[in-house]
């Protein structure tokens, strides 16, 4: 990984191959986990989904659904990161087109937003949901 004069991070061909392989591996892991969650959701641990709802045990169903939603989102982000590698724009924020910091990409290789845009998106989502962050109280 080299940083160019314009602040963009430049990846070598080998780094991009390694990133792509790591992303594909992570995608398979998440997909496998998602299949397990869906299987548990559909099996209802021996109960039909309608039976679970009638018994009022929707918390397990809700938990499985939330996990599946998160995993679906993660797979979509991984797919976008792989597409960005293929098109040569990996590391660019999808919101502001700025550079995603290399430390963020190292920690979360399928990050699609820079930290500033990610924070703003979370703030807007929190405001829409009527929740707030502790930092906002200070």
CATH of the domain at 98: 1.20.120.910
**Is residue 137, in this structure, part of any structural domain at all?**
no
**Is residue 72, in this structure, part of any structural domain at all?**
yes
Report the C-alpha dihedral over residues 103, 105, 15, 9, rounded to 10 degrees.
-70
- The total of structural domains in the chain comes to 1
CA 91 to chain CA centroid, nearest Å? 15
**Is residue 47, in this structure, part of any structural domain at all?**
yes
pLDDT for position 63: 77
pLDDT for position 116: 95
CB-CB contact of 9 with 2 (8 Å): yes
* Nearest alpha carbon to residue 38 among 72, 6, 9: 72
**Is residue 98, in this structure, part of any structural domain at all?**
yes
Q: What is the chain's pLDDT, residue by residue, as a tens digit (138 residues)?
A: 555 555 556 889 999 999 999 999 999 999 999 888 888 777 755 445 555 455 455 667 777 788 888 999 999 999 999 999 999 999 999 999 999 998 899 899 999 999 999 999 999 988 887 765 555 544
**Is residue 133, in this structure, part of any structural domain at all?**
no
CA 44 to chain CA centroid, nearest Å? 26
Residue 31 lies in domain: 2-113
pLDDT for position 138: 45
**Is residue 74, in this structure, part of any structural domain at all?**
yes
């Amino acid at each position: 990984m080299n940083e160019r004069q314009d602040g963009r991070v430049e990846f070598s061909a080998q780094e991009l191959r390694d990133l792509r392989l790591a992303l594909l591996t992570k995608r398979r892991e998440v997909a496998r986990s998602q299949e397990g969650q869906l299987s548990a959701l559909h099996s209802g641990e021996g109960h039909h989904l309608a039976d679970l709802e009638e018994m009022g045990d929707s918390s397990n169903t809700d938990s499985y659904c939330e996990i599946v939603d998160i995993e679906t989102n993660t797979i979509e982000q991984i797919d976008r990161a792989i597409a960005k590698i293929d098109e040569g724009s990996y590391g660019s924020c999808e919101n502001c087109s700025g550079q995603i910091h290399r430390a963020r990409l190292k920690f979360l290789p399928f990050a699609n937003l820079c930290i500033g845009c990610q924070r703003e998106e979370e703030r807007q989502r929190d405001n829409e949901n009527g929740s707030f962050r502790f930092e906002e109280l200070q």
